[in-house]
Structure 1
Amino acid sequence: MYTSLEYSTIDNSKWRNLPPPLGFSASSVISKGPSKASGSTSASYVKLKESRAWEFAIAPAKSLPMQAFMLYMSGGGVQIFSMGIVFMLLMTPFKNIAAINTAFAPFEPATTPTKSFSALPLQKVVYVLCNILTLAVGLWKCRGMGLLPTGSGDWLAFESRGLAPEITLM
């Protein structure tokens, strides 16, 4: 049982005299020229891309509290778990800085060539500084674990002994 409705046979006189729905404006339908919003849309799109680039630039700083909590929970001893977290914390900034142009490529304006150093310079500088801050937190944890040579006792192997001031007579 298949039922079909033939729309070409429906009488148009019944719905032609109905009033337009609330909020409907016939003048907006008739307009054939380019809209005024097209220029502002591209400008707002550029601003949106710039704001997204700023959000991406400060993202490493936003993740620092969580990473600091992970470092706190890993403890101060030299174990495999704490070494893994410190290694991750030290390697991530280098990977991020090495891939900075690829990371900012979606946010670059259409007028600049892709992956250029001149596009979004302030955002890239902030991104590098936030990654250096992450690296500094990792080095601070290494110092706390005793992995960095910071004391004079760590450099005794490179010191030479002077001549003794005493003289022995035999």
Structure 2
Amino acid sequence: MSKALDYFSLESSKWKHLPPPPGFSKSVSSHKGASKTVTKTSPEEYDRLKDKRAWDLALSPAKSLPMQAFMLYMSGGGVQIFSMGIVFMLLSSPFRNIFGINNAFAQFAPSTATDSKSLTTLFLQKLAYIGCNLLTLGVGLWKCRSMGLLPTGTGDWLAFESRGVSPEISLL
């Protein structure tokens, strides 16, 4: 035997006297007494909010870097399928992010095309986004170097070195 939830009892509950969340107000003409309407925000506040969200997106690759570094640490230093998959993911994601930068920031485009300050700010955010992705790429390359996948030593280039002419030695 289940008990049904009575939504009409919410009108007389203790939660009714709480103030509305920021950006919301009680509707004058409410539909069955429970609807809320969104108040109008000024264009400056909306642009400020879009600017803040664009900076959050620009810095998101740097925020995920500690988690990716921990995953690299846990994958080990050997060349196994699991560690190679994590390294491939870490090396390919910055390229995908950089090539899709215009799609990522399209929702934060300024509302007016003549607003040069917003265009400059968006340029700085895209630049920070590229920098954070290059930082992620650097961590991936460092992991490849520590696994021995990058040719960094002189022994890695022996095939391309040429031998000098040996001096002719005559014993007689």
Quote the residue 2:136 is aligned against. 134
CA distance in 1, matches of 2:97, 2:110: 21
Match of 1:165 in 2: 167
* CA deviation after TM superposition for structure 1 residue 163, in Å: 1.5
Determine which of 120, 123, 130 is the counterpart of 1:121. 123
Once residues 151 and 100 of structure 2 are traced to their aligned partners in structure 1, the CA distance between those partners, rounded to angstroms, is 30
Aligned residues: 130
- Distance (whole Å) between structure 2 residues aligned to residue 112 and residue 146 of structure 1: 50
2:66: which partner in 1? 65
Report how far residue 111 of structure 1 moved.
1.5
Where does the alignment leave 5 or more consecutive residues of structure 1 unmatched? 1-28, 30-36
Could you tell me the TM-score, scaled by structure 1's length? 0.72
- CA RMSD across the alignment: 2.0
Deviations 1:125-170 (A, max 9, x none): 0000000000000000000000000000000000000122351347
In the alignment, the residues of structure 2 paired with residue 140 and residue 168 of structure 1 have an alpha-carbon distance, to the nearest angstrom, of 51
In structure 1, give the amino acid aligned to 2:129: Y
Gapped runs of 5+ residues in structure 2? Answer: 1-27, 29-38
Larger Rg: 1
Deviation string 1:68-112 (CA, Å, 9 cap, x unpaired) is 000000000000000000000000000000000000001111123
Q: SS where residue 58 of structure 1 aligns? A: helix
- Normalised to the residue count of structure 2, the TM-score between the two structures is 0.71
Cα shift readout 1:26-67 (whole Å, capped 9, x = no counterpart): xxx9xxxxxxx96x6110000000010001000000000000
